[in-house]
Structure 1
Amino acid sequence: MSIHDIIEGKKQWRAHLARVKALPPDYRIVYKEMQKYLFKVGPVDLPDGPLLPGIVDFFEEGVAAGKGVVELIGTDVAAFCDGLIEGSPTYADLYQESLSEKPGTAER
């Protein structure tokens, strides 16, 4: 990874955070809870993947339609997040795979 890639990544992340800050307060609170949950259990490609920007897109559409955040995702944030990452490899999956490998067979 070059310096240019790091700088570009930071610019993209700051732009993403600016979009989150533009959301109404109830959406922001739910987004931050979703982000915390996904960073704990989320997919391996979360930092560079389309999931977090997709959530902001979804929330922006909800705001434009005049819907509340609870109308969009329901009352169980964790269940909604689990539905989003269903089928995606997570760090927990990778850990379980590493435990199931026979000793001495790990790739070098």
Structure 2
Amino acid sequence: MAAKWIETVTGSLEQKKQYKANKARMQALPAPYRTAVDAIERYLTYFGAINKGDVLVTMFQDLGDLFEQAAADGTPIRDLVGADPVEFVEAFLANYAEGQWISKERQRLIDTIDGITEA
């Protein structure tokens, strides 16, 4: 019972465990990959505005998978992110748009306008 109450207040404990495990996985990457993924994660945290825990965890797991594979293959960071790292991150983030708070607000705007124009 207490765990359910705690999760209501703080969010899913399982998602927190997954996030921490993924964070540890990314910290185990070789230095240049770890530095790049830390910078990307920071940008995603500030710019991404993801408000759904499950989407956030999935996004960071996918990012970890991408960088683990690149490190294993020896893919240079610039080959992975391209000439414009911001463009890369924003294209990556577009795959997780359903988790952004702005998606809810966009739908709210559409529904409001539809509601007043159909009357």
- The alignment's TM-score, normalised by the length of structure 2, stands at 0.66
Instruction: State, as a whole percentage, how many aligned pairs show the same letter.
Output: 26
Structure 1 residues 80 and 47: CA distance shift in structure 2, 3 A: farther
2:70/2:76 contact within 8 Å kept: yes
Q: For residues 40-61 of structure 1, give each alpha carbon's deviation from its aligned partner in whole angstroms, at most 9, with x where no partner exists.
A: 2215356422211001101111
Match in the other structure for 1:85: 93
Query: Partners in 2 of 1:99 and 1:8 — Cα distance?
Result: 33
Mark the runs of 5 or more structure 1 residues left unpaired by the alignment: none
Match in the other structure for 1:28: 34
How far residue 77 of structure 1 moved from its aligned partner, in angstroms, is 2.0
| Greater share of helix | 2
Answer with 39-48 or 16-25: which moved more. Answer: 39-48
Query: Partners in 1 of 2:35 and 2:105 — Cα distance?
Result: 30
Match in the other structure for 2:67: 59
Query: Partners in 2 of 1:6 and 1:38 — Cα distance?
Result: 20
Q: CA RMSD in A?
A: 2.8
Q: Secondary structure at the match of 1:23?
A: coil
How far residue 8 of structure 1 moved from its aligned partner, in angstroms, is 2.4
Query: Partners in 1 of 2:91 and 2:27 — Cα distance?
Result: 25
Query: Partners in 1 of 2:66 and 2:42 — Cα distance?
Result: 18
How far residue 85 of structure 1 moved from its aligned partner, in angstroms, is 2.3
Query: Partners in 2 of 1:80 and 1:53 — Cα distance?
Result: 17
2:40/2:89 contact within 8 Å kept: yes
Query: Partners in 1 of 2:69 and 2:31 — Cα distance?
Result: 15
Aligned letter for 1:91?
A: W
Answer with 18-27 or 91-100: which moved more. Answer: 91-100
How far residue 98 of structure 1 moved from its aligned partner, in angstroms, is 5.8
Q: Number of residue pairs matched? A: 103
Mark the runs of 5 or more structure 2 residues left unpaired by the alignment: none
Structure 1 residues 46 and 39: CA distance shift in structure 2, 3 A: farther
